Chains A and B, each alone.
Chain A
């Protein structure tokens, strides 16, 4: 039993070690890295990727993959900006309406995947294009501005002068997700559905409902990410978060979440996000090109995987 727990958290310990090593290495190499300002920047850079990764990790644990997360988040930034900027409605109303839109989109995904039993990648490939299309049509393909004095809380307010509010949002999202997936029956059911659908069926689990809820949850995370993103850039655009989607897969896999479902840990995915963000932030500080960062992240991903799978054999 003891040995099992050690293997269970082996991956997370390694990742935390990698993160610490990178943190120390960058602090020594670059004098501007280990400052309060940059540390806070580093934290706030994690937020959108991190929140979306929580949704992605959830769907991957359930045995699927939500490719529509990025465009759903972008679509939410567009609707938020239209409600607050163009229509000048209250922030509460705008957020509530956007939340409803996001949940409906998530429910659509969940219905198609859970109740109609269609492969998640097929469905979300379609809705990915659909959500982007809706965002583009609604916004006429233009970025929609919000007056800078409005909607500042989620992405631009710093508590006590240094702590970005969005970091607290991220922390809350992590806490809720870990709570759901590690300590509630619904969360453990999703794990079982992901690892073995047949066994889950024999155990009397309502598989359809579990999968449905997973996609509603990931849509909720897309909504949360859209709050901080819209506020941070003060505008909404239909392709804002699209490029993040492959990074969320990258971070989840990095953190030990298997694409085959049932395996992985939310904490691991969070650490995966941290490692990816610190690599790009640290290399930024050293004036390395963005393309070099891409090579490093891609190479590291393959190395980690080769190591992990090689060991299994």
Chain B
């Protein structure tokens, strides 16, 4: 954990600030998750909760903690004391270590754990969650903890399942108890997957409680999961469709006005300003530094020569996922990410009329203990139309120069590449998959058929995506990095880090800047009152003329 010598004085400043800027009502609560080791995540959650309390006065109740599994597999420096101190400074009336509570319940301990007058250690009934849904959460959590692409009956997986299943049962029970017996205004959570995070979100939505879902990137990005907009398939499915509709109605509608802005965001994205490539660090190695098709041709020949691929044929780039990451949290064509990858490879073996570049995920080491990618790559060595590489071993330039189509289930490459005119086929839903710039298929049969048709288009020299699709992809990039990214001095940009410098900047704001009309407050007001799917920097429902004014542009 970074050195935080100024956390204590900062907490005093924050306490003084929020006691006058948040509104409390002990009869109602806002539930806030604080289960990430990164203070920036918790800071975002708390800021959103306090902003909401200005509209819906309520106490803030925080559930936090990390169990042995998360500490072993995911976290490296989880500090409950620091998190608790921060939460209390932001006005939390209760901070419960829900992981410790669940462990105690599994062990049969009965010491009371009072949260807002509720004894969470009590004999609460089983959760009313759909057993299938609970089983799915257990499976996804087991895969993540065991770092395996899919759960099977090996000893390694079974031992993790034996830990995860009873804990998930208790998480569901505790979250249901809170939502049954407290008057909950909203739940704020940085994650919606796995047992500790996801079951709280599931419980909230089942209890008709909205979920605000801050993102760990940018300035302040928050998605809204509204109970009335949910779908049966998975937690994120409703978000996909509502974001698609919002994009169509309020963003694409302004595409002519927003074109210069989306061009600039795309230009900056090429230079890795704002880190649109979620998983790729490193400025030059992750930048797209080429001007046009001629330059790409030069780089392509060099890159294909190194990869052993034919530069004269179309190349399909297949981006492997972090194979145990949040399995099944949206609509997908295959039961898991590994199956998609394997079946794509099976198809690629047959289609030697094009080149195939299979890429492993940059952070795979944190998600896979089975050498899934390396094993597959070894098995297919020696086929001249197939190449395998670790993603970070290749520069973004190389990838863009080589890839003529990208395949993914839900990865951010399906936004980055279409913005450069390189089409993407998704076999699952993502935040942007309803925005009209990717091809989305949801069955294996449709995938194969769409892929074959797509390859014929490439062979025929026809454009596989339209100008409008490129523009839509660029506009989504703008929406993601600007339109739906709120800049507030009360939430320092993610890249500022989580050390004393960030606390200093925040303390200066709290001490010396009056908060009226702060974008944190105005944007949360807009999100909450309109039930928008995302926090927005400006009111995108305005006419183009008025929107231009509010964005500070000359018409």
A and B pair up:
no
